[in-house]
Amino acid sequence: MFCGECGTENPDTNAFCKNCGKALRKPAGAAPVPAQPAPAQPGAVPVQQQVPVTAPVLQQVPAPAVPAAPDKPKRTWLGIVSLIPAILSWILYPVLIGIIAVVLGIASIALARKQGTRFPVAGVIAIIIGILAIVVNIFWLDIFPPPQVLPPIQ
């Protein structure tokens, strides 16, 4: 008998498929036919009819369904992308690129809340780096004053 689900061949005595565990459907008219005794011949010695002994068939019980593991929340890649202008703001155009990094970081947080994904820590780091680049650029001369110029030697 073949399983209607996976097509695996099973013994006729199984109630469940040995591969997938689904219940096997017995085809109509497939009832076991009892063995007919052979007609007796005149003058023959009667032979004892042997009844085949079969071992009890263990039915395979389908395994209980395992609950699926909860899916991990997806990531918002905008937070990681916002790190690129945050790092570049320390090299080129700190105010302009720093503002871009801050805006992308805020957008990554808003997108994560809207989609219900993981909190973008990279977006927060990009905001901090961008603001630091802007502040350091504005107060650069206060932090690192220019060297005093000595009067010319006469």
Q: Domain for residue 91, yes or no?
A: yes
In a domain, 57, yes or no: no
Mean pLDDT (whole number) for 115-132: 91
What pLDDT was estimated at residue 39? Answer: 58
Distances (CA, A) of 60 to 3, 93, 96, 116, 142: 13, 71, 69, 43, 81
Is residue 86 within 8 A of residue 130, CB to CB? The reply is yes
Render pLDDT for 42-81 as a digit per residue (tens, 0 to 9): 665 555 666 666 666 667 767 677 666 666 667 778 888 9
Percent of the chain with pLDDT over 90: 29
Q: What backbone torsions phi and psi does residue 16 show, to the nearest 5 degrees?
A: -130, 155
Asked if 99 and 125 touch (Cβ cutoff 8 Å), the reply is: no
Tell me if the pTM is above 0.85. no
Residue 17 is part of which domain span?
1-26
32 neighbors 45 (Cβ within 8 angstroms): no
| Higher per-residue pLDDT: 12 or 96 | 96
Residue 33 resides in a domain: no
Instruction: Answer with the residue of higher pLDDT: 131 or 57.
Output: 131
CA-derived radius of gyration, the chain: 41
Question: Tens digit of pLDDT for each residue in 11-27?
Answer: 888 888 888 888 887 66
- What's the structural domain count of the chain? 2
Residue 124 lies in a domain: yes
